[in-house]
Amino acid sequence: MSVHKDLMHHAELQNRIYREFLALDQRRESYIEEAIELCKQGRPFSTNNINDVTNRINKMHLRIIPSRKNVTVEMVMEYAKSL
């Protein structure tokens, strides 16, 4: 019975971590979209929020999820020009 409880606890923990990852990944994508839009409008933008979330994601050490790269201002500018 104890093993069953341990497995249930582990599964719940993994599920919680994965849900947190999904929320952070969505936030990261939103920040990227915001930076791209600002860049396209010729307005100032920063990648600080993107990279803060990226670093939080990468610290989660999820083996099934590849680590995310930090984003530079130049990367955003290059992408915005390609649109």
- The Cβ of residue 27 has, within 10 Å, a number of other Cβ atoms equal to 16
The amino acid occupying position 41 is: Q
Measured distance CA(28)–CA(26) in Å, rounded: 5
Task: Outline where 1-83 has alpha helix (H).
Answer: 2-40, 48-59, 73-82
| Domain boundaries defined on the chain | 2-82
Taking only the tens of pLDDT, the chain with its 83 residues reads 688 888 899 889 889 999 999 999 999 999 999 999 999 999 999 999 999 999 999 999 888 888 999 999 999 999 999 98
Q: What is the pTM of this model?
A: 0.87
Dmax (CA) of the chain? 62
